[in-house]
Amino acid sequence: MKPVAPVVMILAVACTFSATAAAQTPAERAIKYRQAALSTMGFHFFGILAPMAKGERPYDAQVAARSAKFVAELSEMPWHDGFPAGSDAGAPTKAKPEIWKDKAKFDKLAQAMQAEAAKLGQVAGTDLATMRTQVQATAKACTNCHDEFRAR
Ligand code: HEC
């Protein structure tokens, strides 16, 4: 009866995971997911790339290239799974209910930002001046959405 122990262990682990998932509503999961993705993107964008562009942090081409690659990849993550219908409430959130009233506009602003982030991923690590221009363009694309769809 030796194989029993591993099976019991696997079941115990599986139950722990499903219990955690069941404790959260779908809206709560979506809210936490999008905030995690946006927060990680913000870590690299506002925390590393913007200060480098502003001269508040020494320019390091390798670090810039890496952070910009992460921003470009993370810029795709929040939207599809993070903003389902009904996730305007259910956990503390700054997402305004207007998002779900004008989803087309919200999605367009998300796509515009992804386009700028993709360009940032391409130019960061080349030279500081080029990166600075693209950091500014990307920051504007963040603000365009935050001004309208994120509560202060
Ligand atoms: C299409 C709209 C949109 C765009 C574009 C956008 N954001 Fe946001 N962002 C939001 C919304 C909505 C929230 C609030 C999410 C919540 O609280 O549920 C948010 C929240 C955040 C947060 C706080 C996350 C947390 O709760 O810890 C950060 C950081 C952030 N965004 C960074 C960025 C950066 C950096 C960019 C540009 C590279 C960007 N965002 C572009 C809509 C957007």
How far is residue 143 from each of residues 45, 110, 139, 146, 148, measured CA to CA in Å? 13, 11, 6, 5, 8
Q: Rounded to 5 degrees, what angle do the CA atoms 50, 43, 18 make?
A: 160
Query: How many angstroms separate the alpha carbon of residue 90 from the centre of ligand 1?
Result: 18
Q: How many other CB atoms are there within 10 angstroms of residue 44's CB atom?
A: 21
Residue 140 and residue 132: Cα distance in Å, rounded? Answer: 12
| Cβ of 46 less than 6 Å from ligand 1 | yes
Indicate whether 6 belongs to any domain.
no
DSSP characters over 109-144: HHHHHHHHHHHHHHHTTT-HHHHHHHHHHHHHHHHH
Query: How many angstroms separate the alpha carbon of residue 50 from the centre of ligand 1?
Result: 15
Indicate whether 22 belongs to any domain.
no
| pLDDT the model gives residue 87 | 98
Indicate whether 21 belongs to any domain.
no
The one-letter code for the residue type at 37 is A
What CATH number is attached to the domain comprising 105? 1.20.120.10
Indicate whether 125 belongs to any domain.
yes
Indicate whether 10 belongs to any domain.
no
Measured by CA distance, the residue closest to atom 35 of ligand 1 is: 42
For a ligand 1 pocket test, name from 32, 34, 38 the mutation site with the most ligand atoms within 8 angstroms of its C-beta. 38
| Cβ of 110 less than 6 Å from ligand 1 | yes
Give the single-character DSSP code of 69.
H
| pLDDT the model gives residue 5 | 58
| Cβ of 93 less than 6 Å from ligand 1 | yes
Walk along the chain (152 residues) in steps of 10 and give the mean pLDDT of each run. 54 53 88 98 98 97 97 97 97 98 98 98 95 98 98 96
Indicate whether 19 belongs to any domain.
no
Indicate whether 11 belongs to any domain.
no
Q: What percent of the chain has pLDDT over 90?
A: 85
DSSP characters over 79-102: HHHHS-TTTTSSS---B-THHHHS
| pLDDT the model gives residue 22 | 63
pTM of the model: 0.89
Indicate whether 7 belongs to any domain.
no
What does the block give as tokens for 128? 């500081």
| pLDDT the model gives residue 44 | 98
| pLDDT the model gives residue 8 | 53
Give me the number of domains the chain comprises. 1
What residue numbers bound the domain in which 145 lies?
Answer: 27-149
How far is residue 23 from each of residues 13, 18, 36, 100, measured CA to CA in Å? 16, 9, 18, 25
